[in-house]
Structure 1
Amino acid sequence: MTVTQRHPNAEEYAQCSAAQLEAYVDELVASGSMSREAAEEKGRRDAAELLPEGLATPGQLIFRMEADGQSVGWLWLALRNPRAEAGVGFVYDIAVDEALRGRGYGRAAMRLAEDEARRNGLHAIALNVFGHNAIARALYASLGYRETSVQMRKEL
């Protein structure tokens, strides 16, 4: 299996953005941190802040991941992490099509992200993963990512 990356065209980016927003909202709601309405507002606000120029936003790399000419998912890598020192990138999103999960595409996408980060002079990558996403947490740990902070919450 060879996974490659390429920049999406405008139509693909629109599809990716809509799917990314929906998935982000679902994760926020599943985490118990906010209502669907609040999550939708946060998702729109975050996208407007982080990608004000869409695909042309400097320092933001969005890739369509493909295997054998078939789309398998998306990756969003920021070359600058606003919460860290210079030289640390941030994976804002990685998404493998649901029907294709468990086949190594997520691992391959993360390795491509690491290669891209190195090509851009970064020395580390950070990311956020929701606590309830055990599969993603296991993937990142197996790739050498370690927890740097943990947020907790209790409903009263």
Structure 2
Amino acid sequence: MGELKDCPTCGGFFNYTGIRDVCGKCATNEEKLYEDVYKFLRRRENRAATIERIVEVTGVTEDLLHKWVRKGRLQPALFPNLGYPCDKCGKLTIKGKLCESCTTELHNEIRTFDAAVEFREAVDKNEVATYHTDRKSGRS
């Protein structure tokens, strides 16, 4: 059983079943736009078209192009200038929610955090030797 939702495109109500995120009328319009975009990209000279060029020629919105790439309807392997924005920095990516550089940065931050936690735990267990110096004389 579906739930009643507002269509994000036209604002009308539709029965959301988890398959489409827009109403039937808007889904039909999106499908027509998809066909136009796909016809444009199938031509050899247009395969490397940028998102801006595709928007200019076909009239589709960037958000809709991003949606199709996310869902795998348009493959960046076939059309190399397609992608969708990274959730953190906005740079185009082709998989996941974060681009390569943001993923690497996040992994580094996690490693740093884990090392700090391990160090704190070692200090709490008194496994780390602590040396005190006499500040005035500089001796240990």
TM-score of the two chains, using structure 2 as the length reference: 0.29
Higher RCO structure, 1 or 2 (CA under 8 Å, sep 6+): 1
TM-score of the two chains, using structure 1 as the length reference: 0.27
- Whose helix proportion is higher, 1 or 2? 2
- Whose strand proportion is higher, 1 or 2? 1
**Larger of the two Rg values belongs to structure:** 2
